[in-house]
Amino acid sequence: MDTNPSNAPHYTLLPDHPLLAGQLARPRRPLKGFAVILASVIFLLLLVALISNQGQEPTLPSLPNKDARPLQSFSKSEPRGVAQGVSAKSNPSFFNDKLSYNWTNAMFSWQRTAYHFQPQKNWMNDPDAPLYRLGWYHLFYQYNPDSAVWGNITWGHAVSRDLIHWLYLPLALIPDSWFDIAGAWTGSATLLPDGQVVILYTGDTNNSVQVQNLAYPANLSDPLLLHWVKYSGNPVLIPPTWLAPKDFRDPTTAWVGPDGKWRLTIGSKVNKTGIAIVYQTSDFTKYELLEGFLHAVPGTGMWECVDFYPVAVNGSLGLDTSANGPGIKHVLKASLDDTKKDHYALGTYDPISNKWTPDNPKMDVGIGLRLDYGWYYASKTFFDQNKQRRILWGWINETDTESDDLQKGWASVQTIPRTVLYDNKTGANILQWPVEEVESLRVNSTEFEEVIVEPGTVVPLHIGTATQLDIFAEFEVELLGSEAVEDNSSCSDGAVDRSTVGPFGLLVLADDSLSELTPIYFRPTNASDGSLKTYFCADESRSSLANDVFKKYYGNEVPVLDGETLSMRVLVDHSIVESFAQGGRTVITSRIYPTKAIYGAARLFLFNNATGVNVKATIKIWQLKSANIHPYPLDQL
């Protein structure tokens, strides 16, 4: 690093006047024009201009009107959001050489999910400030009320009694002040002991500086929390002088330190080192930057949407964010701006030194485990005090083109909320599992017991419509030869890559002719040292006949302990597939766009593409109803 935070001031004072925030902008040199007089002296004039320009004193850029909204634009070579200082919100590089598919309105209509949360229309990204209060679950989210592409980011708001059926509410936070005029970005909520609710969120200022702002409910007796007040002294935090003004965002839920003061962490970077810094406060308006870093990992780049929370080593309950002590591990998670992946690690938090230490440095944040190995980003948890559980939300972005999103009128979905627990069997990972409330959508079920799937075969599962499903599947393997051949395959070659013992699993959202299909599968491998590894994978390469959608292989190794049967749970909801292996040790979210395997033409199959094993499968499948997601009848209040 070329900075020394320990020698820098621990806290940068807030400006006395809003326009002073412009002093954080980077200086530029003015340019002078010269008239060309004679061709014979062009070289001399250019030389004079160069010398003159180098002698100029740097000046700050002129400040716009403090209430003016900066224009948001992007080039086709650069994704949306990058110029504004956030992670990419479009995928232009995927489709430069692709011809647009002839999509129909029926295809677009089918892509919309039935029981995942998404707005009625337009763009959505990160989940924000989830909380439970007075009988209602609240979900805020990054939202563009004007279009199905990223921009003009406000806070959408919805409430639910059960995390499944949702009611849309009016916008909660609108970018209308100098300290968030370019976007009201991601933030978190903290519930205080006196019943107050505080939200800290990142604002992008009129000078493209990322600052942290405070908001709170206008009426605490309102269970819907319809109206929010922005603190008159915003911003409450501006970037330390040793951080770039566009690398300071996404404050976490606060926790209580040993001195009784609240602490929160914010992600950033120093050069290529991803960092989490910690502030403490007594009143959420004045802050002290604690010395050093909560944690830092070289080479991981910008950390955004940092999450930090405790998990119990034993037991089946979640913990309040302030819990610490014996029998507790802490999860540190960061969304890596460079890779657009959510990484986490387990470790120990020392509140005295304000340091978090990973249990396994080889599996540190950004270089080890991921929350989800599919299309998933910007996740956030909260403690549900109603049912004593920790719940995880995550954003599923689109992988089609912006023109398609504009045509269908919406973009992005939130995952099914998941519970998070420590895996006390492996001691090396967390377990993610869909909240139990999703089971309320189950209707008729179908069971298949001990179905034999021979090598190189596909077996249809006759269940009727296969677009809204909850599937449990277990697999046993019978080796046909004397021994398995050494195999170092993983997920990287897809489900067509055959070996002695794999791959095998399910084909979801397939049509009768198998021209479109998405395999969700296990791939056991025999390493050269004699050990057996198992990979859990999803193959999107044949999920759609369309060329202008992103189709990739996803997955990773999943721990399988002695005596355990290979098992998966798969939630299918139109264009979203969420897959959980071994009780949620490895999770994959798939974003797919079939053209044929839709509506009544969608089918479900078992497959075994191994060359040397029979697979015996036992499966239970539920059809799922649609969730009720619609505007709240405010006229009835």
% of the chain exceeding 70 in pLDDT:
85
Residue 79 pLDDT > 80, yes or no? no
Higher pLDDT among residues 42 and 169, named by residue: 169
Q: What is the mean pLDDT of residues 85-111?
A: 79
Higher pLDDT among residues 34 and 494, named by residue: 494
Give pLDDT tens digits for 495-506. Answer: 999 999 999 999
pLDDT (0 to 100) of residue 485: 61
pLDDT (0 to 100) of residue 100: 84
Residue 261 pLDDT > 80, yes or no? yes
Segment (H or E) for 265: strand 262-270
Q: What is the mean pLDDT of residues 92-120?
A: 87
Give pLDDT tens digits for 53-65. Answer: 333 332 222 223 3
Q: What is the mean pLDDT of residues 399-405?
A: 95
Q: Let me know the angle formed at the C-alpha of 35 by 31 and 37, rounded to the nearest 5 degrees.
A: 150
**Domains of the chain by range and CATH?**
105-110+121-434 (2.115.10.20), 441-624 (2.60.120.560)
Give the list of residues 6+ apart from residue 624 with CB closer than 8 angstroms, or none: 114, 115, 438, 441, 442, 443, 468, 469, 470, 573
pLDDT (0 to 100) of residue 269: 98
- Omega of the bond prior to 240 within 30 degrees of 0, cis? no
pLDDT (0 to 100) of residue 30: 35
Q: What is the mean pLDDT of residues 593-612?
A: 97
Asked whether 13 and 237 are in contact (CB, 8 A), the reply is no
Give the list of residues 6+ apart from residue 246 with CB closer than 8 angstroms, or none: 85, 208, 209, 210
Whether pTM exceeds 0.85 = yes
Q: What are phi and psi of 41, to 5 degrees?
A: -115, 15
Q: Alpha-carbon distance 544 to 546, whole Å? A: 5
pLDDT (0 to 100) of residue 582: 98
Q: Select from 405, 375, 326, 303 the least CA-distant residue to 552.
A: 375
Residue 4 pLDDT > 50, yes or no? no
Higher pLDDT among residues 16 and 363, named by residue: 363
Structure tokens at 462: 């006759």
Give pLDDT tens digits for 17-38. Answer: 333 233 332 333 333 333 333 3
pLDDT category of residue 351 using cuts at 50, 70 and 90: very high
Q: Which of 126, 250, 384, 539 is catalytic?
A: 126
Residue 262 pLDDT > 70, yes or no? yes
Q: Let me know the angle formed at the C-alpha of 547 by 542 and 553, rounded to the nearest 5 degrees.
A: 40
pLDDT category of residue 447 using cuts at 50, 70 and 90: very high
pLDDT (0 to 100) of residue 94: 60
pLDDT (0 to 100) of residue 481: 77
Q: Alpha-carbon distance 404 to 103, whole Å? A: 8
Q: What are phi and psi of 538, to 5 degrees?
A: -135, 135
**Cα dihedral angle (512, 518, 520, 524), rounded to 10 degrees?**
90
Clarify whether 180 is annotated catalytic: no
Structure tokens at 305: 């949407």
* 3-state secondary structure string across 137-163: EEEEEEEECCCCCCCCCEEEEEEECCC
Secondary structure (DSSP) of 431-453: EEEE-GGGGGGEEEEEEEEEEEE
